[in-house]
Structure 1
Amino acid sequence: MESQSYHCYSIWGHAILQQEEILQPDRFAASGTITVNGKLVEASGILAYFDTEEEAQHAGLAWARAWIDYHG
């Protein structure tokens, strides 16, 4: 999980490990969360699947920034 401050919000990018079969490489589901003053503002569902944890986290953060830009 990676967090950042964006405007007056705290945003979080999540990478959720997906292990479908033992012999397949790991994949990570991306999601994002937005909070303000410790209270949940919005959370995404699964945004997409990525090969790396970092890519998934960045996708969650990008979603959160875009949501704030549109709704904020």
Structure 2
Amino acid sequence: MNWNQIEGNWKQFKGSAKAQWGDLTDNELTEAEGNRDKLVGKIQERYGIAQEEAERQVDSFAAGLKH
């Protein structure tokens, strides 16, 4: 699924993101607003991982989403 679709339907996908990254707070997910870069940054910050790893996780998450 592409990020335009995810961003446009973020409220629907927020629960899936919470399941994927359980350490992210609801506020952090709300602040991300489905924006890929914001989500990557929040994952980096919360999990203490490199940007490349956070981007890989986010891309994998997006690939696994169904309409």
- Structure 1 or 2, whichever has the larger Rg, is 1
Q: Which has the higher strand share?
A: 1
Higher relative contact order (CA 8 A, sep 6+): 2
Which TM-score tier does this pair reach, normalised by the shorter chain?
0.3 to 0.5
Normalised by the length of structure 2, the TM-score is 0.37
